[in-house]
Structure 1
Amino acid sequence: MNNVKTQKTTDRSALGILKAGTDNLNTSRKPVHVAMFSGGASSAYIAYHIVQKYGKENCILFFTDTLWEDEDNYRFMDEVAEYIGMEITTRIDGRTPEEVFHDVRFLGNSRMAKCSEELKVRQTLVYLEELRDEQNLEPILYFGIGPHEQHRAINLQNFYEHNPLEAISTRFPMIETFKEDLDTKKIIRDEWKIALPRMYGLGFSHANCAGRCVRGGLGHYALLYNVWPDQYAEQEAMEERFREKFDKDVSILKRNSKAFTLKEYRELMDTHGVEKYLSEKDDTIPCVCSFS
């Protein structure tokens, strides 16, 4: 790891975005630095950063598995963990996102996704309480969110600050510490010699749920159909199973504020060409899976 270039740092807390409310530490417990390891490049670099700063014995690489992850994500995470010299701590609910949708009788969509709430957030909170109650450790969470997504950092900070049991401190080194042009993908690829998750190379903005993220939006699903039609077909079949079982006119996507099924979208792309829809935009809310 000695071949990794030292990055110039600067204190950017003067932005006034994340300074307040980040020091909710219970000083009666020993701090432990938890990298929210999502399988993406930024979270991988943040994991490396905190291990170098605080030592392996004071850090945890934490991953919550949705059971929909692309196989190459696991390869990437294993190689990063080996490079850093730590094991990955994994928590699994045991259900897939589809099983969550059926349990809560609500199909996840671009505005609301119970899958991330159940499979990611709930598993994280349970684990953090285990650290506190069973090991007398005070967790500090680290996220790989960049300067261009400060609103997401604020939302995460507010969520964990208002944890009903006890506030949890959060850190965002990509905003608070590193210079803006830190290229984590280039560092991992060229300096660490680790191939990035293949989903980046296919054009996806994040490498979660093997392209089946219900919050992806129209352009995302056009890309999925273009590069991984089999994955699109699985998601289309899942949507149809839900609609039939609960007899509801619901869909993952929306068009003109109305339900717009993946079957309808596929037929439209087949008629007019998928290329026409690759730049489609809609009002989506980023999934917590893309930064935790």
Structure 2
Amino acid sequence: MTRKQVHVAMFSGGASSAFVAYQMVQRYGKENCILFFTNTTWEDEDNYRFMDEVEAYIGIKITEWADGRNPEEVFHDTRFLGNSRMAKCSEELKVRQTIIFLDDYLIGKKNLQPILYFGIGPHEAHRAERLKDFYEHNCIEPIETRFPMIETFREDKDIKEIIEKEWGIRLPRMYYFKDEKGVQIFNHANCGGRCVRGGFHHYKGLYLVWPERYKKQEEMEERFKIKFDKNVSILKRDGKPYSLKKYREEILEHLGNEDVQKVLQSLEALDNTAEIPCVCTFS
């Protein structure tokens, strides 16, 4: 017997996934849709405000699924400090929890056929292919994935304007922070800026916007190194670990120095996070 389909918007708390969720509900009806959010517990408080307002505007409650651990606890449990190349936090807190929700709950318990919707745009088509392949081969049965942003070719700017001007909802504050050159600091609004895949530009921004959060990441890194007696770090310089403490002391506390600025520019040029997809930004 064919199972009833249920349409699941993978909601990260960002603009694109909010827009996709709205369009999905308009097409298939609230009774056939789920707004799904996996919580790492590190989100910025304004993200929760945005999600509450989107939830009210769309008209369906967010289905929240959580492991219960935060990213640091995952790093300790796996004995691996997340970095720009590999983030066990997204594997455990996002991917694993999503599969449990799909396999055990929707398919196993509710006997439903989920179809997943992602807020990925045309410029990220390669990521869409990876997601499609993943959900075809890593659940108890192949699960269909859809990417309305690629199909409609809506631009990110267009979506943000719609949410702010037509919906009357202010975007999460992390979208608005820019550096001295007017470049957006955070390339996504997840984990309150503490994303281990951030890179040099991201962590410079975190230091300037929320120095206390930067300090938390610095302390987290030091705790891990001491506990496991490993010389590891979130960032790397010249192929070697480069601690957030050193980055702050050698670079970030001297941003007014021209020579330091040149060094920073060379470090930021090494940032390759755009080429390394993080599952947190998919939803």
Structure 2 length-normalised TM: 0.90
Counterpart selection for 1:85 from 52, 55, 59: 59
Displacement, 1:228? Answer: 0.9
Q: Which residue of 2 aligns with 1:283?
A: 272
Q: Which residue of 1 aligns with 2:92?
A: 118
Q: Which residue of 1 aligns with 2:150?
A: 175
Task: Label 1:219 to 1:62 Cα distance change in 2 as closer, same or farther (>3 A).
Answer: same
Q: Secondary structure at the match of 2:99?
A: helix
Q: Which residue of 2 aligns with 1:214?
A: 196
Number of positions where the alignment pairs a residue of Structure 1 with one of Structure 2: 266
Displacement, 1:164? Answer: 4.7
Does structure 1 retain, via aligned residues, the 8 Å contact 2:40–2:71?
Answer: yes
Does structure 1 retain, via aligned residues, the 8 Å contact 2:16–2:156?
Answer: no
Counterpart selection for 1:127 from 89, 101, 119: 101
Displacement, 1:151? Answer: 1.2
| Residues 46-91 of structure 1, C-alpha deviations (whole Å, 9 max, x = no match) | 0000000100001000000001000100000010010011100000
Displacement, 1:153? Answer: 0.9
Query: Is 2:137 the counterpart of 1:162?
Result: yes
What are structure 2's unaligned runs of at least 5 residues? Answer: 178-183
Query: Is 2:175 the counterpart of 1:200?
Result: yes
Q: Secondary structure at the match of 1:160?
A: helix
| Residues 236-259 of structure 1, C-alpha deviations (whole Å, 9 max, x = no match) | 000000000000010001111111
Q: Which residue of 2 aligns with 1:191?
A: 166
What are structure 1's unaligned runs of at least 5 residues? Answer: 1-26
Task: Label 1:181 to 1:215 Cα distance change in 2 as closer, same or farther (>3 A).
Answer: closer
| Residues 218-274 of structure 1, C-alpha deviations (whole Å, 9 max, x = no match) | 111011111111110000000000000000010001111111110111012245317
Displacement, 1:120? Answer: 0.5
| Residues 127-184 of structure 1, C-alpha deviations (whole Å, 9 max, x = no match) | 1111011111100000000111111111111111112521111000000234457711
Structure 1 length-normalised TM: 0.87
| Residues 101-135 of structure 1, C-alpha deviations (whole Å, 9 max, x = no match) | 00000000000000000000111000111101111
Q: Secondary structure at the match of 1:125?
A: helix
Q: Which residue of 1 aligns with 2:25?
A: 51
Q: Which residue of 1 aligns with 2:238?
A: 256
Once residues 252 and 22 of structure 2 are traced to their aligned partners in structure 1, the CA distance between those partners, rounded to angstroms, is: 44
Once residues 217 and 270 of structure 1 are traced to their aligned partners in structure 2, the CA distance between those partners, rounded to angstroms, is: 14
Does structure 2 retain, via aligned residues, the 8 Å contact 1:215–1:286?
Answer: no
Cα RMSD after superposing both structures = 1.6
Structure 2 counterparts to residues 65-104 of structure 1, below 5 A: 65-104=39-78
Once residues 190 and 120 of structure 2 are traced to their aligned partners in structure 1, the CA distance between those partners, rounded to angstroms, is: 15
